[in-house]
Structure 1
Amino acid sequence: MHISDAEGLPVRDAVPALRAALDERGAAVLAAPPGTGKTTLVPLALAGLALGGPPAAGKVLVLEPRRLAARAAARRMAWLLGERVGGRVGLTVRGDSRPGTHVEVVTTGVVLRRLQADPELADVGTVILDECHERHLDADTALAFLLDVRAALRPGLRVVAASATADTGPWARLLGDAPVVETPAALHPVETVWAPPPRPVAPPHGMRVDPALLGHVAATVRRALAERDGDVLCFLPGAGEIARVAGMLGGVRAEVLQVHGQAPPAVQDAVLAPSGRRRVVLATSVAESSLTVPGVRTVVDGGLAREPRTDHARGLGALTTVRASRATAGQRAGRAGREAPGTVYRCWTEAEHERLPAR
């Protein structure tokens, strides 16, 4: 796919309304499910590099919650333009600075430091807060700073809050009752296979995950490889669990890739590029909405997520392992239907699914 093909993505129909909202109000909320082009086509369109229309005044700054997602977005946009990162599309994350002339993708931590040094963001015309539904502290802080900048220093700074979910009301209110622009999902049908462990497993506690569950997830990946075609994307809560399941997949007739925040850049690039070999991608929640992994036809969902929680007794925050919500399970399943009809193997029962929290 190159830019002419990307311009056929579903979000293209929302771009005129988004441009109009920004021209009129200076702020907007974009609700666009994964796979619609929210992260890659919209910044290029607002920068005048796609879908015609006038370019935004100043650079388009795209805020991503994670380095992995930032690298993926910059690499994809540059590839669509037939360029390398550092030309019209740039990237700035910790340890990697390749500024771009029209679009720059940064992590929220980087933009917070930039706001301290240059509160006006003098060279920036539009800021897109991508994946704002994930609600990270850095992202919330960055939005607060940006609202202050608009109120006191740069009333012309344009802000877009982009979310993969339809829960846009709070963001619209934060942006002064900003217009909401929606794009429908473009998914193929996904068959659900309920694949609970043969014996009960212990629920997660703190950071601990029952080894029996990890063994069952590995067995389910092997089953998916035998029963389905295409690549397999498997969701696990953290890097430790990914490493353990990878160790259980020795001998499978597929390349096993481990994707998490500490993964080497070469592995990240390999996951984001099409491959001639069959692959098993073991990933954390970063692959729910922030990354597009080409070739995936099957998702194996271990059913767990790692989220920040506050220990009120100690007054400290820490990561803990929790059951994924129904909304999260739905997003994960959708990754199997991005390019063609697919299948999700859920490592729990249908009855358990109904008891999961909605969000």
Structure 2
Amino acid sequence: MRPTLRRCLTLVAVTKNATKFDLDTIGAGLPVHAQLATIRDAGSVVVQAPPGTGKTTLIPPLISNEVSETMGKVVVTAPRRVAVRAAASRLASLDGSVIGDRVGYTIRGDAQPGRLVEFVTPKVLIRRLLRDPELAGVGAIIIDEVHERQLDGDLLLGMVAELAVLRPELRVVAMSATADAERFAALLGVPVISTPAEMFPVAERYEPLPGRAGCGPEFVAGVARIAAENTNMYSTLVFLPGVRDITACCAELGRITDVPVFPLHGGQSPAEQDRALRHAGPRIIVATNVAESSVTVPGVRTVVDAGLARVPKRDALRGMNGLVTVSCSQSSAVQRAGRAGREGPGTVIRCYSRSDYAHFAPHTEPEIRSADLTEFALLLSCWGATPAEFPLLDQPPAAAFAQATAAVVAIGA
């Protein structure tokens, strides 16, 4: 073979291989690595795997290796901007590439899309689908954290289900951290593959505190005290429902302990979030449910859980929307506890009683049942569908959707 031809063939081989991810390197030590062949051969699928199994890190490059050369990039949705950035940064780091090259992300106000895998929020992908219903240049869609049942996520799941009918070659993967994966599989018409988590043992302690129902100052101060008393050579992750509560807890911790304290929530700048996630050494991170399953928080061996969450609610009588503090679901409490057992034996301290836990809802309530539906009605109308004919896990309340539709008409949309 002539030297020139040999060099050309070598260049072609290298260029082709440059589109492939090294799954063994990226997936080293991740439990989901053992299921790669099964997931690869299943086509479209629902992957049920608890936090810590590596599904968000390893499944996108796996699917990319299958579709990128013939069909296009893989688009992965995560429910929060901090999770989008964190997932993209982690995969790019393990891949040895820079953000915006092979792996990238797009969130509101910040776009660094990659050639092979792009992480986005559900709203970003919804708007792309409205502009281009065929989603040209995309070979696969992965919807992460579908169990959170956010309104945008449920809408996107239905839109992707309809797109898959028009584009049967499109790979669709939905990923859930809870055990109710069969409902998502039935909606998409795909099988379920479960991956068990290889977790270290997590000891449970119940230390109920007064004032939990209103998450008042006394309760927040008690949570801070428990966190300070139980932080040693490893880090502690504290779950509180809202930014106000986090700010108060951090202030109290700053008064009673010398351990570095970091807030973590969706309203922070990327630099502030990175400080909480990447700080070396023991620290106390006080977070909303953004740290429940969407992001990796290294070094944590103790979780202090208030058992509360902020959820959107609509007061139909007064026509007002807002966030209210409620008890989290049992599945959320389990996920929070699991954060303590990802790197070694850990402890979860629950600031409520066993009886309180028994009365938590088994799973997170879908936002479609209680949130304001005006934007949902507008987007669904733009898609050319009505709830009755659209593939939804749960139908919206008829009265709430009628009010939302009337609001859309009233603004001339």
TM-score using structure 1 length: 0.90
Is the deviation greater in 6-15 or in 38-47? 6-15
Residue number in structure 2 paired with 1:87:
101
Say if 2:141 is the partner of 1:137.
no
Determine if the alignment matches structure 1 residue 192 to structure 2 residue 204: yes
CA offsets 1:298-347 (integer angstroms, 9 cap, x no match): 10111111112332323554321101222211110100000000011111
2:171 maps to which of 154, 158, 161: 158
Name the residue aligned to 1:264.
269
Q: 1:3 to 1:281 in 2, by over 3 A?
A: farther
Residue 16 to residue 55, structure 1, CA distance change in 2 (3 Å): farther
Residue 195 of structure 1, CA deviation: 1.6
Identity of aligned residues (%): 47
| DSSP-derived class of the 1:289 partner | coil
Show the counterpart of 2:35. 14
Partner residue, 1:41: 58
Pick from 78, 90, 99: which aligns with 2:113?
99
Following TM superposition, the consecutive aligned residue runs of length 4 or more in structure 1 with deviations greater than 6 angstroms are none
Look up the SS of the partner of 1:188 in the other structure. coil
Shift of 1:149: 2.0
Question: Equivalents in 2 of 1:111, 1:55: separation in Å?
Answer: 18
Q: Is there any run of 5+ residues in structure 2 with no aligned partner, and where?
A: 1-22, 364-413
- TM-score, with normalisation over the residues of structure 2? 0.78
Secondary structure of residue in 2 paired with 1:40? helix
Q: Is the 8 A contact 1:255 1:277 kept in 2?
A: no
Give the gaps of 5 or more residues in structure 1. Answer: none
- What secondary structure does 2:312 align onto? strand
Q: Distance in 1 between matches of 2:286 and 2:228?
A: 13
Show the counterpart of 2:281.
277
SS at match of 1:254: coil
Q: Give SS of 1:47's match.
A: helix
Residues 213-228 of structure 1: pairs in structure 2 closer than 5 A: 213-225=219-231, 228=232
Question: Normalized per residue, which structure has more helix?
Answer: 2
Provide Cα deviations, 1:180-224, integer angstroms capped at 9, x if missing partner: 011001210011122222xx32623xxxx3221111111111111
Partner of 1:357: 361
Tell me the CA shift for residue 93 of structure 1: 0.4
Aligned position for 2:372: none
Q: Which residue is equivalent to 1:168?
A: 181
- Compare the two structures and name the one with the higher strand fraction: 1
Between structure 1 and structure 2, the one with the greater Rg is 2
Of 144, 158, 162, the match for 1:148 = 162
Residue of structure 2 equivalent to 1:32: 49
Count of aligned residue pairs for this structure pair: 339
Q: Which residue of structure 2 lines up, in the alignment, with residue 248 of structure 1?
A: 252
Q: Please give the secondary structure, in 2, of the residue aligned with 1:322.
A: strand
Shift of 1:241: 0.7
Q: What is the CA–CA distance in structure 2 between the aligned matches of 1:7 and 1:283, rounded to whole Å?
A: 28
Letter in 2 for 1:234: V
Mark the CA change 1:229 to 1:125 in structure 2 (over 3 Å): closer, same or farther: same
Find 1:297's aligned residue among 301, 310, 314.
301
**Contact 2:107-2:121 at 8 Å conserved across structures:** yes
Distance in 2 separating the partners of 1:150 and 1:329: 34
Which residues of 2 match residues 312-323 of structure 1 at below 5 A?
A: 312-323=316-327
SS at match of 1:249: helix
CA deviation after TM superposition for structure 1 residue 87, in Å: 1.0
Q: Is residue 193 of structure 2 the alignment partner of residue 181 of structure 1?
A: yes
